[in-house]
Amino acid sequence: MWRNIPERYNLLGTHCETCGKYYFPQRKVCPVCRRKGKLSDAKMPETGKIVSYSQVFVAPSGFEHQTPYFLAIVELDNKATLLTQIVDSKPDVVTEGASVEMVFRKICEDSPEGAIAYGYKFRVV
């Protein structure tokens, strides 16, 4: 499972060498330069800040046991943005502009005896 999703485990994104922008997850074409852009793989920074967030009280199927939890748009230090869950943080510190760092956590599991998927989440520092 982990071999098929490199961005989940390595925070692997894309860098456009033409315009200098970073994207996460990886892109095949730069949205700014289009076909003229030269893209390369780039390891994303593991720190950033919260741009926007929401607290989830009614979760989708399979995540009911995690409620309430925070989802946030995080701007990484290289200006790439991503949607992530905020964990290990008290509700009063989850605010716009708060500094965050990546942590490696369990995402889901198939069953009590099944495969467990791990990946990135973020916490306030």
Q: Cα(50)–Cα(100) distance, rounded to whole angstroms?
A: 7
pLDDT in tens, 14-62: 999 999 999 999 999 999 999 898 999 999 999 999 999 999 999 888 7
Determine the length of the chain: 125
Query: Domains in the chain, ordered, with CATH?
Result: 1-44 (no CATH), 45-125 (2.40.50.840)
Q: What is the pTM of this model?
A: 0.86
Give tens-digit pLDDT for 57-95: 998 887 888 899 999 999 999 999 999 999 999 999 999
* Pair of tokens at residue 33: 């330069």
